[in-house]
Amino acid sequence: MSFHSITGSSAWIFQALASPAPLGLSSVSVIGNSLGGKIAWQFAASHPGLVASLVLISPDGFASPGFEYGKSAKLPFILKLLPYTLPRAMLRMNLAVAYAEPRRLTDDVLDRYQDMMLATGNRRAMLARMQQVMLVPPEPQLRQISAPTLILWGEQDKMISYRNAGDYLGAIAGSVLVALPGLGHVPFEEDPAASLPPVLEFLTTHHQLASTLSTAPTNGL
């Protein structure tokens, strides 16, 4: 896979990850959630010699209602208003679907998302990126992944169905699944104490990180 087959929004990530030597690294462990999960598995498929282990948290990639193969995503009208207005209630409504329990979306987390969204050019860039996305069947790329792979998925995910986890298990040889009951699309935000330990155990096993990582719960990301 070349950089030309990757969307513009992620090509620079590939370029940075593909040259870990200046950082004193010979290999990397890559972790991604949602769109970040798709970028992570694309990188692992195209750079097998660099990826020591891969963690996918409810990754994007397979078709789902409203996101079909070979078709650009249809943006709801309300999203097209984002460059012009960002009422706090609208932001909360759009973020709440990522949580199995919307009450877990605290005011502090909402403030963080709002600050990021209000950064200059961010909303227009996000919409432009969403309009560029066109899904293709991911199995040929997923089958190229040789790194040990952990798939972490909230069973109550309302954004990317938990059923997709089986598709990844079938396509990535040797991959393992940890299901998280009662959690949604961003389990690391909803319940870090439940979602972090399996990741740490996996990385410790496959990339010798025991001495540098802590299992203490954290708030947010």
The per-residue pLDDT of the chain, averaged, comes to 84
CA distances from 104 to 98, 161, 213 (A): 10, 20, 25
Among 75-79, 80-84, 116-120, which stretch is predicted with the lowest mean pLDDT? 75-79
DSSP-derived secondary structure for 176-198: EEEEETT--S-HHHH-HHHHHHH
Pairwise CA distance, residues 87 & 39, whole Å: 30
Query: What is the percent of the chain with per-residue pLDDT over 90, rounded to a whole number?
Result: 55
Q: Where is pLDDT greater, at 19 or 90?
A: 90
pLDDT at 218: 36
- CA neighbor of 59 nearest in space, from 2, 148, 142, 144: 142
Return left, alpha or beta for 135; rule: phi > 0 is left, psi -120 to 50 is alpha, else beta: beta
CA–CA gap between residue 70 and residue 99 (Å, rounded): 29
* All domains in the chain, ordered by first residue: 1-64+138-221 (3.40.50.1820), 74-132 (no CATH)
**pLDDT value at residue 208:** 61
Please give the order of strands across the beta sheet that includes 51-59: 28-34, 51-59, 149-154, 176-180
